[in-house]
Each structure stands twice: as C-alpha cells, then as structure tokens.
A = this chain, B = another copy of it.
C-alpha cells in the first residue's frame, strides 16, 4: 500500500537479479514465462512501478512532449488551443508519454525551447500557431529537437512535418456559397492576419471574389483576436454604415456569436436579413450540431488534429530517419440556419 518498493527490493524479495526482474517486466525474451509471471505478480503485490526519472535517465528518452506557449499571446490562450491539447493528450497517454506545457513570457520563448533541448525535458515539441514569418522551426532544427507544426510554415512546407486544414479552400467554398446565394457585399472577420491560417483564409476569400470579378471592399475586412466583442463591435459598425454587408464570413464561432448579437441588436434576423458563415473548430463547449446547426460553417475538428499531430510526432521520434510527413485535413462545408438568399436590394 505504502508507495515505494524499488527494483532492488523487489528483486531481493524474489531472489532474482535486478536484471532479470527488469527484463521480465519489460517483456524481454530472455526470461522464462514462469519467472515472468512470478515477477509480475510480486510486482503487483508490492505495488512496484519503476521510477520514471531513473528510467528516463537510463534510457535517455524523456518520454514527454513539450508544448510551449508564450503567455501574452491571447491567440494561444484560447479554447482552440485547449481542444488541440485535449486531443494530443489522449494520444500521448495512450503511448505512455507525458505532456508538459510551459507558459512563458514572450521573450523567454526561445529560452524555453533551448532548455527543453539541453536539459532533455522532452523528446519533441509541437509548434502552435505558425506566423507568416515563422522562425521557431529553424531554432528547433538547430537544437535537433523533433517537432510537428499545427498549421503550416510558409516556405517550409516540404522540410517540416505538419498537420493543417485546408484554410484557403474552405473559405473559398464558403465565399462561393454566399456568392451563389446572391450576396455581393460580404464582410470578412478574420483572425490575426500575421498568422498563417488567417492569411490563407483571406486568400481563399479574395480569390473566390476575384473569380467572379468582384474586388473585396477593404472596409469590410477586419483582422483581430477572435473574441466575442470583436465580432459584435465590428459587425455593428458595418451594419450601421451607409453601405452595409449582407453577409459575414467569420473565422471563429466565438466571434460569430458576437456578430449574431450585433445583428439582433440591429433588428436583423440572422439567416434572413443577414447571412453568416463561420469556421467551426468543433469545440466541445460550443456545439454547433443538430439536424440544422445554428451556424452555417466550415468545420474541422481541432481535437482530431491534436490527436493526429501527436501521432505524427511520436512516429518521428521513434523513427528519426523518416522523411517529413504532412496531413492535410479537409474542412466540411455544412449548411445551417444562418444563411439564406441575399435580401433584395431595398434600402
């Protein structure tokens, strides 16, 4: 019951060497099935479990994956990150890996990676939220620390392992849907566009417009942290303008909720007077499901991305020579209650 038999004591109780006991428990073939059974029974009885630090020291593997998140970046402190973590965490624990998360001051981010490498705190890391001018991957290569990117690093797609959804295509399709419904004044409430995912979404939006000979109105394009008030305030401002949009394309459910609130306050009915398409990361506390989801959306489970990213990384670690591999997830375009034909131009 009391915690704390170690290998030595266990082996003494069994009249066996530490070697044999260790091998028995770790499934090596050089030990008879009979002894193996005897050993594991005694281990269970005494509640033996190998000290992880000792094992890690001996094997040279940290059996842990690091996630470092700069604390000021709101973008990261967000539920999307959490959901990703949840997915990744499942994979880790299924494989006996620990997940260690470091919340650090921005200027200490590089330091954090260096520490992980030099102190051997983790066998690999995940890069979250790559920016347009990303640099972390270079540091990590230099540090010889395996990593997987959640998202893509522009210009380094070939040489890095990553998992990403098709941001450009998703927003292109969403835009086309709105265009097909007759909307021509479409607002884009994007995430921070110095991030790669947001740039791609914007590109998808613009390209879809361009394909129909439309040029985006700069007044209808915003970019910021995806909070609820961000959605509400900007939508409000646009809706009250002389030439309001009839549709919104939004990068996050949370902001979309804000937009819906603004619409309500303006006396506009969502899905009728104003159309909304949002990206939906399938967050567990913000379900947008049902036969007819509240919001028409492009959906891609970020939790699933977390699971997969973790798998990629663990593979890289156990197979260091392998080439970089990447996973491209396709977002679904799902019709909900928030879209409808553009209202006849009346006002």
Contact = CB atoms under 8 A, between A and B. Distances in A.
A74 interface: yes
Interface stretch (A25-33, A53-61, A159-167): A53-61
A118 B229 contact: no
A102 B92 CA distance: 8
Contacts of A118: 3-4, 47-49
A4 B322 CA distance: 23
Contacts of A286: 227-228, 254
A301 to B, nearest CB: 13
A346 to B, nearest CB: 22
B99 A101 contact: yes
B101 A85 contact: yes
A294 interface: yes
Nearest to A54: B57
A268 to B, nearest CB: 10
A52 B122 CA distance: 10
Contacts of A47: 118
A225 interface: yes
B102 A99 contact: yes
A103 to B, nearest CB: 3
Interface in A221-274: 225-229, 254, 257, 260-261, 264-265
Contacts of A120: 51-53
B103 A86 contact: yes
A62 interface: yes
A115 interface: yes
B74 A284 contact: yes
A330 interface: no
Given A83-B77, A86-B71, A98-B102, A287 B229 contact: yes
A291 to B, nearest CB: 13
